[in-house]
Amino acid sequence: MASYSNSSYTNDFFNLSGIYFNSSTGITTGLAPIESNSSLYLLKSGGTISSNLLINGSLDVKSTFTLENIGNVATAINEKQDLITDESLTISKTLNLQNSLDDLQDNINLKQNIINDGDLTISKILNLTTILAGKQDVTTNNTSSEGPALEPSSTTFNEIISSSIINNNKNIEDRDHFHYASSYGTISKNVNQAINFNLTKRGPALVSQESFTPKYTGLYSISCSIFLGTGSTGALRLGVNINGTNYNLNGADTYIVCATTDENADGNMLNGNIVVDAIVGQPIKLNVRSGSIKYLAQYSYFHGYYIGSS
C-alpha cells in the first residue's frame, strides 16, 4: 500500500493493485475508466508518495531527474575517491594479481642461478653459429709479404703466438744474431785489409774468415771489441764494409772505432757500435780505414743482430 498526498486531496491511501495510468482516459481499473473527479483519481503531477513504490515495468521520466531526488545517491557518489593514487590500491584489490605474482616467482625459482662450464651450448648464443660458419676452418701459412705467417691450426697456441709476432715479416725470436771470435794470436792489418776471425760462436758461418751474411734486409746493430797488441802504433780508424763498399753516413767517412797514437797501444781495448742498413745476402765485415793495427785475435770479437725494418 502506498501513501499519496496532495493539497487538493484528503484521502491518504490508495490500493494501486490493478490501477494504471492511461494518457487518454485517465486511470482505469481494468473494468471501466475512473473519472478525473473521482476520489480514486491520481494526479499526473505534483504530490508525494511515501513508503515504498514498487514498479514492475519501466519508469518513464518526462522532466529533469537529478541525483539529489534519489535518496542519498549523490552523497554516496561524492564520498568515493576521485583518483587512485600511489599506495591507494593493494594487491588484493587487483583481480588475479596475487596469483600472477605467485606464478612468476615459481618460474623464477626454477631458473638456473649461475651458468657453469659446459652449461651453455653454441645454439643458445644468438647468431654464434652463423658467425663461426663464416670463419676460416684452418689457418694456413701466409706466403705474402703483407702479413704474418701462421702455422696450421694443429699447431699449439704458444707456437702460433711465437711464429706470428713478427717485425717486417721476420720472427722476432730469430734476431739473426752472430758472434765471431778467434783462436789466433797476434794479427797485423793495414789500410783496406779486413779484421779476421776464425770461430763462429753464434749465427751463420763466417765467410772467408771475415764476413757475416745477413738473413734479412733492414737495420742491423754491428759491434766489435779489439784487443791491441805489442807494436800497434799510430792513429787508427776501423770502419764497416758492406758488399765491398765502405759504409759511410752523410757522404763522409764513418768509423766504428778510432784511436789516437797514444791510444793505439799494447793492452788497450777498442770498443765500438754502429747501426747499418743491411741487404739480405750482402756480406758485412770490419776493415782498416787508416793507420795500421796489431791485435790479439783470441781476445777480440765481432758481433751483431737484426733490429728491424729500415
pLDDT of residue 192: 93
CA angle 229, 230, 232 (to 5 degrees): 75
Give the global pTM.
0.47
- Bridge-based pairing state of the strands 48-50 and 166-167: unpaired
Which has the closest alpha carbon to 195: 232, 140, 142, 141? 232
Question: Phi first, then psi: what are they for 166, rounded to 5°?
Answer: -130, 170
pLDDT of residue 129: 85
Domains of the chain (ranges; CATH) run 1-81 (no CATH), 129-164 (no CATH), 178-308 (2.60.120.40)
182 close to 200: Cβ distance less than 8 angstroms: no
pLDDT of residue 249: 86
Which has the closest alpha carbon to 187: 146, 223, 244, 230? 230
Identity at 87, one-letter amino acid code: E
pLDDT of residue 252: 80
Q: Which residue has the cell 648464443?
A: 125
pLDDT of residue 12: 43
Q: Which helix (H) or strand (E) holds 202?
A: strand 199-202
Mean pLDDT by groups of 10 residues along the chain of 310 residues: 46 48 47 52 54 71 64 74 79 86 84 80 84 71 52 54 53 81 93 94 93 93 94 90 92 90 91 94 95 93 89
